[in-house]
Amino acid sequence: MQISELKVGDGLPERHHTPTNVTLFMYNAAVWNLHRIHYDETYTTQVEKHPGIVIDGPLQGDWLAQCVTNWVGADGRVLRFSYSNRRATYLGETLVSGGRITSIDPLNRQVSVELFIRNAEGTVMSPGSAVVELIR
Amino acid sequence: MSTLLTAEHKAWIGREEAPVHVEVSRRDIIKYAIATEQTQPKYLAGDEAPPMFIFNLFGPLRQVGDMRHDGLPRGTGSGPKLPLQRVMAGGTELILSRPIRPGDRLTGVQRIVDMYEKEGSQGPLIFTVRSLKVTDAEGLPVLEEIQTAIAR
């Protein structure tokens, strides 16, 4: 990928994510997050009053980061990344990650992108953004 | 108009925590890469950590007796005890100087940079914004993580 080949509005490849109990367990073990809303359904629904097991916001943040790192591959590196956990999502949902180019700085070989996690209804649950620096 | 956050809470803004040291293992990177369903070989082989590997890498490791009923550490991590106890991750900003790699001996210094309230659709919310500056064994910058926690 070269910066001269890119234009504002170009989309980043979308990916579907359907986490399971097992993948949420693995994620929370890997990051040592013991919050019961991610594995204890009785506690989650009866005490914290969620409708179901909550998909971790930072896991969705990772999917957004992957959207960028998979897109840029070995052709550059991520300089800045951010995401915001706007709405809770729940086990059983299928979410879609994606994004598009918002600006291109040829002088510094930097490209800015906006990112999203959408639910099945198309509502953005977690927006994000990133700046990447390309080699060429 | 702030009603839940007192001057005592706000006094935590700017206060720097004691440095925390973490040694990164290839195996921990591989576990994270599998759990997050990474597709790039460099992550799955543990040669380099994905950007969000940093999440909770410097989090407190408490014994079972020091955990709250919800599973979180007592005291909601660094910072004051808040009048709202239900905590969720609000978001993260990363400024990346270089990737984390296996064998890295990292030092993280955290401080609260802001605390504020908002009225949510289901009641008041308290936002705590923390900055974590991470350096390597030579003292060179690796990344800065600015993370927002929301208490409701």
What domain count does chain B have?
1
pLDDT digits (tens, 9 = 90+) for B81-140: 888 888 888 999 999 999 999 999 999 999 999 999 999 888 999 999 999 999 999 999
Token readout for A116 is: 């999203």
In a domain, residue B2? The reply is no
Determine which of A1-15, A108-122, B81-95 has the lowest per-residue pLDDT on average.
B81-95
Sheet with A95-105, edge to edge strand ranges: A11-17, A95-105, A110-118, A124-134, A76-84, B87-96, B141-151, B123-135, B105-120, B20-23
Alpha helices in chain A (DSSP H): 21-30, 41-46, 57-72
CATH number (3.30.470.20, 3.40.640.10, 3.30.360.10, 3.10.129.10) of A3-19+55-134 reads 3.10.129.10
Provide, rounded to the nearest whole percent, the portion of chain A with pLDDT above 90.
Answer: 100
Determine which of A32-36, A86-90, B66-70, B77-81 has the lowest per-residue pLDDT on average.
B77-81
pLDDT digits (tens, 9 = 90+) for A16-61: 999 999 999 999 999 999 999 999 999 999 999 999 999 999 999 9
Q: What is the pLDDT of residue A17?
A: 98
Task: Reply yes or no on whether the pLDDT at B1 is more than 60.
Answer: no
Q: Which of B44, B64, B92 to mutate to test the interface with A (most CBs of A within 10 A)?
A: B92
Task: Reply yes or no on whether the pLDDT at A91 is more than 70.
Answer: yes
In a domain, residue B116? The reply is yes
Q: Report residue B3's pLDDT band, with 50, 70 and 90 as the boundaries.
A: confident
Yes or no: say if B143 and B95 are a contact pair by the CB < 8 Å rule. yes
- Give the residue from chain B lying closest to A126, CA to CA: B91
Domain boundaries, chain A: 3-19+55-134
CATH of the domain at B77: 3.10.129.10
Q: What is the pLDDT of residue B120?
A: 87
Q: What is the pLDDT of residue B76?
A: 47
Distance (Å, whole) CA A73 – CA A135: 11
B80 CA: distance to closest CA in chain A (Å): 19
Name residue A64's amino acid.
L
pLDDT digits (tens, 9 = 90+) for A56-82: 999 999 999 999 999 999 999 999 999
Domain span at B16: 7-151
B93: left (phi over 0), alpha (psi -120 to 50) or beta: beta
All residues at 6 or more sequence positions from B7 whose CB lies less than 8 Å from its CB, including other chains: none
| Interface residues of chain A, partner chain B, Cβ below 8 Å | 17, 23, 26-27, 29-37, 40, 43, 47-48, 54, 56-59, 61-63, 65-66, 69-70, 73, 77-85, 88, 126
| pTM, full prediction | 0.94
